[in-house]
A and B are shown apart, each in its own frame.
Chain A
Amino acid sequence: MTDTVDRADEVREVERIIIRFAGDSGDGMQLTGDRFTSASALFGNDLATLPEFPAEIRAPAGTLAGVSAFQVHISDHDITTPGDAPNVLVAMNPAALKADLHTLESGGTVIINSDAFEERNLAKAGYEHNPLEDNTLDGYTVITAPMTSLTKEACKDLGVKPRDAERSKNFFALGLVSWLYSRPEEPTMLWIQEKFKGRDLVIAANEAAYRAGNAFGETAELSASRMTVRPAQLPAGTYTNINGNTALSWGLIAASQQAGLPLFLGSYPITPASDILHELSKHKNFGVRTFQAEDEIAAVGSALGASYGGHIGITTTSGPGVALKGETLGLAVSLELPLVVIDIQRGGPSTGLPTKTEAADLMMAMYGRHGEAPMPIVAASSPADCFDAAIEAVRIALEYRTPVMLLSDGYLANGTEPWKLPDIDSLPSIDIEFASELNGVDSEGREVYWPYVRNDDLARPWAIPGTEALMHRIGGIEKQDGTGNISYDPANHEFMVRLREERILKIADKLPPLEVMGDDDADILVVGWGSTWGAITSAVGRLRSGGTKVASVHLRHLYPFAPNLGELLQRFDHVVVPEMNLGQLTKLLRAEFLVDAKAISKVSGQPFTAAELVTKIQEVAR
């Protein structure tokens, strides 16, 4: 709306706003949130998002189980989380209000589609009285708009059927919220035209609904509620707004380019990992082969087969899939071939909470195989960081000829943040050479190829089929070091078990030392891994600005640990470990370093908020 500029002086400037869009699964709240986010990204805000949706594709309409929400935090400065309590809640129906009102800050703003607050919907949500008419919303700023009927009205003359028009009501909400928080209209209009190309009526309806929402803000005299968040002062560069699964997919492609080897993805669909399969399937022009296997076991098996053939074998899954892949991972450990297993963790055990986040697969990543079967573990810390984490996982797998576990989670997978695009020339190089020459002499003095001869890193040579004269056999039976021949010799097995551990631990020799953030002379060290990075960074920042001395360190490598971790832990009186599990890293730290590390656990299916961590860390400080 052009008026935005004219009335700019009426718009209150704030540093940040947290908005939560909530509605029925069929109301299009993910799309609404996503559009608001994109417009804010292009406007130049820093931001972080948290989509939350039910596991059912269409949960019963109007029920609490069917509520789908999208939280976005926009800011004029660097932020790392989707925010604590939202300032604004958009509730498209009574169930959304019932489910999410408790998350809203006290005195916050509620924007309500009043058309949806009729008897049937109220009953489905479990309201005995209409919350718009009793004292439920006392103390909040309430903006009600008959979104459904106004959308229908706006579409009346367009030739759109009323039922179809109703579907555009999320664009009414978006138009209204965009007016209230001064978001530019253009990106959304362009998106509508692109997305619905060829469906002119849908374009017209969505545009009309958006403008009607915009106009409602003006005519209903809501100016007092208007705010804006100025662009953030971020480091210079080109930015894009990216979620973790996309960043991870692109990281795999980048690693493939850096290594000069083709990428092979074997995968079986599973929430919340499937989007990586979808994304990589779009990029066959990079030479990427994607294979939707018959099951999780075939997915990892095919990836291992591709690695044997000289490709970068990748398999993507979530916890239940990792459980199924375990035996093949043991084989990969024994074969000493590169392989990257990507676990987008979700709430467990069993089917658990497929669409909710958790980080309780660390022990499975560490120990979820029979025998002594060590695998390096790399974890991503933010949506954009998934790009770098993917490159690191591939680098370790290729250079050390080992399967690697890469841990992300549902929150990183779907959450977004602005990402300063890296300079491609600055990406880490991955230098790999296949074996091409004989490397041993047999008992009769003949030159032969031995698959288990080792280099300085204790990695074996990688001779791929098709290489003349290097024919050899490998397998899951214990083999003699060097020759690779089957060996049941007790001393050899003992040697090989220890060697397999040693060679993985040796990876740490070349890892960069960890750097402590915050106060080096603090009593408390907060140790994080995975997606807790955002909340920890924000919490530590708040505590320090409040005068509490605190330090933090975030682990990229969970196995082996960075070489200076033990020394670093010893320097602090208190070590606390926020984890979205019951203390798995905590146990590893205690076992490895004999420190009295204490877990701060959360297993509700939602990420930590910074506020929660501030409170918990303060308890330790006292």
Chain B
Amino acid sequence: MSAVPVTTKKDWSSDQEVRWCPGCGDYSILTAMQLLMPELEVRREDTVFISGIGCAARFPYYMNTYGMHSIHGRSPAIATGLAMARPDLDVWVVGGDGDMLSIGGNHLIHALRRNINLTILLFNNQIYGLTKGQYSPTSEVGKVTKSTPMGSIDQPFNPISVALGAEATFVARTHDMDRGHMQEMFRRAHDHQGSAIVEVFQNCNVFNDGAFNAITKKDARDAMLINLTHGEPVRFGVDGERGVMIVDGTAKIVDVAEVGIDALHVHDETAPDPSVAFAISRLADDRESPTPVGVLRSVQRREYGESVSSQIAAAQDTKGPGDLHGLLRSLPTWDVS
């Protein structure tokens, strides 16, 4: 295999006109990705983007890689088949909150528990965009939309909690206002062996504009985003004045001055048990409270495709390569002359 050719953003951009609404958060995610790809040292022909249906699902059309825009909710299932058949490929899955958590929720959790080598990007804008503004499974209770004129009565999913509940081996969160952070999360997710999911807070400026303003606007971030760094005490605030403690299995926001720095939880993304990561994911159930971002969990577990291949190799070792003539004679036979 020759060295991976040097590429630029242009090489990773397809010739298709991008058709998201002007101002959509998807643009910044696409740019982040197209800029990141040349740095990942992978080949375009070995890279596949698979999506379902929704605004986010148009993503593959804009990447100059292999790509499939499939049907609503099914992208994790289709990608699972591809990744099992072709462990040599880099398979990315892109979808929104409706695609991945509503119609495709079942496929998502099963892909995560199996730990198949997929990099899953969940663009969460807390709304249905392509169908013009119904509430989604991540919309807050009380949300008034076309389908909920009196306010939504559904308890929303917290995608990070769902992923940790499914024992995903890599779980991270980022947002569309910070290209550097997005790229770091995408890179880490890509490099992870197994199912990796990154939730991206993404602004829908048409149907749910400003949903994340309170936490992701530049002047709000220090106070409202809890940046998780492996091996570091969990601390945030303009002057790092606040932090997170784990008390009886529950994550609590505390004043550092009050509890002392040694009392803060030291983030361990490699903890085998997902309970603490889950506790941290529960810190914010709305988009107005301090919200954890970064890598919540990154643990090693046997990758599914590898197990598939090793069973095939083991079967070939013990039985030899398939012999059709022998197979047809594997039940009792008799001869007629």
Contacts and interface: CB of A to CB of B under 8 A. Distances in A.
Contacts, number: 207
A470 B64 CA distance: 10
A302 B67 contact: no
Tier of interface size on chain B = 35 or more
Nearest to B318: A285
B81 interface: yes
Contacts of B82: 305-306, 308-309, 465
Contacts of B9: none
A236 B69 contact: no
B321 interface: yes
Contact of A287 (B47, B89, B322): B322
Contacts of B71: 327-328, 330-331, 476
B16 interface: yes
A285 B66 contact: no
A468 B81 contact: no
Interface string A12-23: 000000000000
Interface in A83-121: none
Given A287-B322, A289-B308, A467-B45, A308 B68 contact: yes
A216 to B, nearest CB: 27
A472 interface: yes
A466 B86 contact: yes
Contacts of A467: 45
Contacts of A288: 312
B336 A254 contact: no
Contact of A306 (B16, B81, B320, B332): B81
A471 B328 contact: no
B77 A293 contact: yes
A241 B330 CA distance: 11
Contacts of A239: 333-336
B30 interface: no
Nearest to B333: A240
Contact of A303 (B81, B106, B314): B81
B138 to A, nearest CB: 22
Nearest to B49: A473
B324 A468 contact: no
Interface in A290-307: 291, 293-295, 297-298, 301-307
A534 interface: no
A304 B82 CA distance: 8
Nearest to A473: B67
B331 A242 contact: yes
A234 B336 contact: yes
Nearest to B74: A301
Nearest to A304: B78
Nearest to B109: A294
Given A266-B81, A301-B74, A306-B81, A476 B69 contact: yes
Given A301-B74, A471-B66, A286 B81 contact: no
Given A298-B74, A327-B71, A291 B81 contact: yes
**A-B pairs with the 7 shortest C-beta distances?**
A475-B69, A305-B81, A286-B322, A302-B81, A301-B77, A298-B77, A284-B315
30 contacts: A44-B336, A238-B336, A240-B328, A254-B324, A284-B311, A287-B322, A289-B312, A291-B81, A293-B110, A297-B74, A298-B106, A301-B70, A301-B80, A305-B50, A305-B78, A306-B81, A308-B81, A309-B85, A309-B89, A311-B86, A313-B81, A335-B68, A469-B45, A471-B44, A473-B14, A473-B66, A473-B69, A475-B61, A476-B53, A477-B69
